[in-house]
Amino acid sequence: MTHPAVGALPRTTPIILPIASLEQHGGHLPLFTDSLLVTEVARRAEAALGDRALFAPVLWLGSSDHHLAFSGTLSASPRTYLDMLAGLIDSVVRHGFQRVLLLNGHGGNTVPCQQALAEARGRHPRAPNLLLATPYWALGARPEKLDPRIRQTGMGHACEWETSMMLRVAPQLVGDHQNAPPVALEDDPFAPAARAWNTEERSAPGHVGDPRDADAEKGEVLLGAFTDDVVRFIGRMSAWNGATWSTTQR
Ligand SMILES: [Zn+2]
């Protein structure tokens, strides 16, 4: 798009900023997995919504210091990443747009997203801005209910879910996942406390979850469920009255 084309949009248009990573995804998935997958979800949502929302290209550089023990990972340090998110949000707010969503495709970005939103609200306390962030898989989808062959009930890393979606989106980039050893998703005896970790402590091969029986059919179910959630969520952004915290408030 050109700047006049963006300038002509209603300022109530939801602005969707996909963010992801370039980081190791086990021995069987490419480094660009998160960026490819959130781009696919955004592409499908954009096709469904047309000009009811504006989608930016993916910000592929993410907060991935915890994956740096594995070759190829590129990371912005946490504080640099916060500044990058601040730049994205402030740019959009400066243009007068009032509804912003960081559509996140990488778990390591989740905490920085929350911090960046809190700081942005502090910088823009009076503007009627709706500043939001969510991972695309965290909006309520229960893919295992849609396809009983799906065994995972939450997102891992280069796991059944991500490997299946990659087999749907770019099978030529998927390596030998059938022989990848399963790595338990939930095995932290200190949960639910926050616990510092680097990936190599949890997984020698780099993935977390069980990618062995991933397939493209599951991948389509997952991508469909996540896209439906994102489309519905953007609908809620559009339906916001632009003034009050809740929709029942006057
Ligand atoms: Zn990933």
pLDDT in tens, 60-107: 999 999 999 999 999 999 999 999 999 999 999 999 999 999 999 999
Q: Is the pLDDT of residue 51 over 80?
A: yes
How close is the Cα of 239 to the center of ligand 1, in Å? 31
Token pair recorded at residue 52:
């009811």
Q: What proportion of the chain, given as a percentage, has pLDDT over 90? A: 92
A 10 A CB-CB count for 118 gives: 10
198 CA from centroid of ligand 1 (Å): 15
Angle 191-233-98 from CA coordinates, rounded to 5°: 105
Expressed in angstroms and rounded, the spacing between residue 162 Cα and the centre of ligand 1 is 6
Q: How far is the CA of 133 from the centre of ligand 1 (A)?
A: 17
Nearest-CA neighbor of 13 among 25, 28, 1? 1
Q: For residue 107, how far is its CA from the centre of ligand 1 (angstroms)?
A: 7
pLDDT at 245: 84
How remote is the CA of residue 249 from the centroid of ligand 1, in Å?
A: 38
Q: How many of the other CB atoms lie within 10 Å of CB of 159?
A: 26
Instruction: State the distance from the centre of ligand 1 to the C-alpha of 3, rounded, in angstroms.
Output: 32
- How far is residue 30's CA from residue 35's CA, in Å, rounded to a whole number? 10
Please tell me the distance between residue 60's alpha carbon and the centre of ligand 1 in angstroms: 12
pLDDT at 186 over 90: no
Supply 33's token pair. 């997995």
Q: Tell me the CA–centroid distance for residue 240 and ligand 1, in Å.
A: 31
3-state secondary structure of 54: strand
Please tell me the predicted confidence (pLDDT) of residue 234.
98
Please report, as a single letter, which amino acid is at residue 244: T
Q: What is the mean pLDDT of residues 216-236?
A: 98
Distances (CA, A) of 63 to 85, 106, 153: 11, 9, 25
Residue 25 Cα to ligand 1 midpoint, Å, equals 6
Q: Ligand 1 centroid vs 157 CA: distance in angstroms?
A: 5
Do residues 39 and 18 make contact, with C-beta atoms less than 8 angstroms apart? yes
Question: In the structure encoding, which two tokens stand for residue 61, read together?
Answer: 């550089």
